[in-house]
Structure 1
Amino acid sequence: MWYKIGPVTPHAIFGQLHSDVDWNYEELSAKTTMWGFSIPIDLAKGFRVRPEVMWYDDGELEYGSSDVQDYGKYALYGVQFQITF
């Protein structure tokens, strides 16, 4: 169910990936998470602006039980302009 606030309809976004692999007699484990929001705003018939913000956590890659590599976190910010005709 979508909630509309005037010309604005906020959307929430979430995604997650987890993988476990046995490789060359080693166990590898990785997890990535993404969440964010986008807010489509109808400015005129056929013209929409959509600001978007998304945060990513690429997590850690674990090699066996001793070695861990952190892949970091980052964010994406942007605006999409949509013309429909």
Structure 2
Amino acid sequence: MVLAFEGETIAAALLAQGIRTLRYHEDTGTSRGFYCNIGHCFECRVTVDGIDGQRACLTPLKNGMDIHTGRTLPSPLKKGAHLP
């Protein structure tokens, strides 16, 4: 359990607790954490209330959230997908 302020981002609460590794790269297995901290890079994805891929830097905390880090999560983009 991590104590934090309701309304601050998951990223802020985890950083305050010294948690830097949030997940592991889906192909290489290398650790991933905070990079841009503004929602562009998808490196800070965590699992929130059973939903994979939630960005910790954008998601505000609410009392009772179930947040999991340290997993290998699916890629946010399907292989072969093209960006506009």
TM-score range, shorter chain: under 0.3
Q: Which has the higher helix share?
A: 2
Which has the bigger relative contact order, CA under 8 A and spacing at least 6?
2
Please report the TM-score for the alignment, with normalisation by the length of structure 1. Answer: 0.21
Please report the TM-score for the alignment, with normalisation by the length of structure 2. Answer: 0.21
Q: Which has the higher strand share?
A: 1
Task: Return the index of the structure with the highest Cα Rg.
Answer: 1
